[in-house]
């Protein structure tokens, strides 16, 4: 059995036991929410950008913005920056643009930024870490001899797995891969906002990490090592002329700046380390998501900043019109998709309550023979009639949020390759997080809220659907409805702690 298959089986939740973890939340040793690098010079970025386009214009072709320091700053602000601050009593915490399991945010971003964009110096590329709380670049190094295509910069996404391990134990690797997908889609959306292009590079995770110094273990606490996920070129025009060998062969010295310590006590799970090691020499494949027209006239930046993970839904108000559902589903389209969506429809006008299948990928999905398989709209099939609220709740670790919504979703992945190749398994989780981020945004634009649900009883869903294991597996649950607002919480604007503007 491959390591990916072993990991997935070992980290399943069951009604009588959960995947291995500490078993409680050790609040005294919760990791610090922000990675930073000690002693670095900071490049403080602007977040004030005048984008007036509506959400339905966000994915349309538009003239590219100038690639200058101000717009690079707004690119990161609308991709990975702070969205709001929540306050309750004497406590406050930041919410970010990209969704994350438990608001723990294991995803970090590094930027290789030509000095020509910063200060018109035609020579050299700065390696920077993006610090979302400061909305600043932390300067780590300058490659004096490296060049990138004109009007472009490089972004490397990485994961600090221990941030999720603290809460979720062995299952944490799944959530880091989902969050990687959330963050990548957030980058794509912000690039579209600016009229820029994202091009994933054919570099292995090890090569990406080496480029930004993540393999310099002496700079990190052993349990807090970061693993790179992907490198993408951000450019004003579609670029195909980047020299990958120049990136692979660049001389990388030991960076001076050590990483901050995030935690003082650590759990250890060997299978998580094995999964990290199993993908190091591989390249993540990214399927193309076409731009789908939207109906919302809301300001695009308002949608991006108002995306939230709902904590509860109002059952009676969580009624969805059919065109809203179709817009949500169309937004998940992707070339070479590897996930299908099973819908638990509770309250959608024009659809009887029941279980539905939305086909995204080309291969057949074999389910129970007694299902109806009645096509009610292109790609949407009715499987079974009935009230499925209790099923949605039970499958999602008994969480009411899956049953009080307009509908809940199980994302079912093709796993034939994934059970053999760990990187294919990671790609399935990545795809789930990527379409999850898009569902969040589309729901927000249409006046709804959403929540990704990483806690679910894997085989209970498989048995209910009659899935043929291990070729198909559930990798993510999701739910959409009208959020129940907690009036005890204050919502404050972000970046009030920064007084430079």
- pLDDT of 118: 87
pLDDT band at 420; cut points 50, 70, 90: confident
> Tokens in use for 87?
């306050």
Output phi, psi for 352, to 5 deg: -70, 145
Pairwise CA distance, residues 444 & 454, whole Å: 20
Q: Which residue has the tokens 């009887």?
A: 352
Question: Residue 501 has what pLDDT?
Answer: 44
d(C-alpha 318, C-alpha 481), whole Å? 5
Q: Place 390 in a pLDDT band, splitting at 50, 70 and 90.
A: very high
The DSSP bridge partners found for residue 232 are 155, 200
Q: CA dihedral defined by 352, 318, 102, 308, rounded to 10 degrees? A: 120
For the chain, the average pLDDT equals: 94
Under 8 Å between Cβ of 103 and 167: no
* Confidence class for position 240, pLDDT limits 50, 70, 90: low
Q: What is the mean pLDDT of residues 155-166?
A: 97
Structure confidence at residue 119 (pLDDT): 84
Dist. CA 108–CA 36, nearest whole Å: 10
- Residue 299 is given by DSSP the state B
Q: Rounded to whole angstroms, how far apart are CA atoms 422 and 152?
A: 31
pLDDT at 239 over 90: no
- Specify the 3-state DSSP secondary structure of 401: helix
Residue 120: band (very low, low, confident or very high) from pLDDT cuts 50, 70, 90: confident
Q: What is the pLDDT of residue 60?
A: 87
**pLDDT tens digits, one per residue of 37-71:** 999 999 999 877 778 899 999 988 889 999 999 99
Both tokens of residue 305?
């900043």
Between CA 208 and CA 155 the distance in angstroms is 10
What's the average model confidence in pLDDT over 369-398? 97
The H-assigned helical ranges of 156-243 are: 161-168, 172-194, 205-211
Indicate the burial class of 17 (C-beta count within 10 angstroms; 0-12, 13-18, 19 or more).
exposed
Share of the chain above pLDDT 90, in %: 85
What is the pLDDT averaged over residues 20-38?
93
Q: What is the pLDDT of residue 356?
A: 98
Q: How far apart are CA 449 and CA 310, in angstroms?
A: 6
pTM of the complete model:
0.97
Does the pLDDT at position 242 exceed 70? yes
- Domains, the chain, in order of start with CATH, read 37-278 (3.40.109.10), 312-481 (3.40.109.10)
Per-residue H/E/C for 193-212 = HHCCEEEECCCCHHHHHHHC
* Radius of gyration for the alpha carbons in the chain, expressed in angstroms and rounded: 22
What confidence score (pLDDT) does residue 89 get?
84
CB 122 within 8 A of CB 116: yes
End-to-end Cα spacing for the chain: 56
- 27 burial class (0-12, 13-18, 19+ CB within 10 angstroms)? exposed
Q: How confident is the model at residue 273 (pLDDT cuts 50, 70, 90)?
A: very high
Strand ranges (DSSP E) for 332-454?
339-345, 354-358, 374-377, 380-385, 407-414, 449-453
Q: Is the pLDDT of residue 122 over 90?
A: no
Residues 200-208: what's their mean pLDDT?
Answer: 97
CA–CA separation, 112 vs 147, rounded Å? 10
Q: Is 429 helix (H, G, I), strand (E, B) or coil?
A: helix
**109-118 pLDDT tens trace:** 999 999 999 8
Q: Regarding predicted confidence, which is higher, 125 or 59? A: 125
Using CA atoms of 101, 109, 491, 485 in order, give the dihedral in degrees to the nearest 10: -30
User: Nearest CA to 410 among 427, 388, 387?
Assistant: 388
């Amino acid at each position: 059995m491959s390591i990916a298959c072993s990991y997935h089986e070992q980290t399943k939740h069951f009604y009588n036991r959960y995947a291995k973890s500490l078993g409680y939340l050790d609040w005294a040793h919760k990791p610090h929410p922000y990675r930073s690098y000690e002693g670095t010079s900071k490049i403080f970025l602007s977040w004030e950008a005048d984008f007036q386009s509506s959400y339905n214009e966000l994915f349309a072709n538009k003239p590219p913005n100038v690639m200058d320091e101000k717009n690079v700053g707004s690119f990161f602000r609308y991709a990975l920056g702070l969205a709001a601050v929540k306050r309750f009593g004497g406590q406050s915490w930041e919410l970010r643009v990209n969704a994350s399991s438990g608001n723990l945010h294991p995803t970090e971003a590094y930027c290789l930024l030509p000095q020509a964009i910063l200060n018109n110096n035609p020579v050299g590329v700065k390696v920077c870490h993006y610090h979302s709380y400061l909305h600043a670049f932390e300067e780590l190094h300058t490659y004096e001899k490296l060049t990138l295509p004109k009007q472009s910069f490089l972004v490397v996404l990485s994961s600090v797995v221990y941030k999720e391990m603290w809460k979720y134990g062995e299952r944490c690797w799944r959530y880091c891969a989902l969050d990687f997908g959330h963050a990548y889609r957030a980058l794509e959306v912000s690039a579209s906002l600016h009229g820029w292009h994202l091009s994933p590079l054919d570099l292995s995770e090890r090569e990406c990490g080496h480029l930004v110094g993540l393999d310099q273990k002496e700079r990190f606490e052993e349990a807090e090592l970061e693993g790179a996920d992907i490198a993408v070129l951000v450019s004003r025009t579609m670029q195909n002329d980047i020299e990958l060998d120049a990136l692979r062969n660049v001389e990388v010295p030991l960076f001076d700046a050590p990483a901050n310590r995030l935690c003082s006590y650590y759990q250890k799970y060997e299978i998580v380390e094995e999964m990290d090691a199993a993908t190091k020499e591989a390249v993540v494949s990214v399927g193309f998501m076409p731009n789908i027209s939207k109906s919302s006239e809301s300001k695009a930046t308002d949608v991006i900043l108002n995306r939230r993970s709902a904590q509860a839904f109002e059952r009676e108000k969580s009624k969805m019109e059919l065109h809203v559902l179709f817009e949500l589903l169309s937004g998940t389209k992707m070339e070479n998709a590897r996930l299908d969506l099973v819908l638990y429809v509770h309250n959608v006008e024009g659809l009887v309550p029941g279980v539905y299948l939305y086909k995204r990928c080309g291969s057949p999905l074999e389910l129970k023979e007694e299902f109806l398989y009645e096509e009610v709209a292109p790609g949407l099939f009715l499987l079974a009639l009935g009230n499925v609220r209790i099923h949605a709740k039970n499958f999602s670790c008994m969480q009411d949020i899956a049953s009080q919504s307009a509908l809940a979703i199980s994302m079912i992945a093709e796993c034939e390759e994934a059970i053999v190749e760990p990187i294919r398994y990671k790609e399935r989780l990545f795809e789930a997080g990527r379409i999850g981020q898009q569902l969040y945004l589309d729901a927000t634009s249409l006046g709804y809220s959403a929540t990704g649900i990483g806690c679910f009883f894997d085989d209970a869903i498989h048995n209910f659907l009659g899935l043929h294991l291990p070729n198909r597996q559930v990798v993510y649950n999701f739910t959409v409805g009208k959020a129940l607002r907690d009036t005890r919480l204050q919502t404050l604007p972000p970046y009030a702690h920064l007084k430079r503007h």
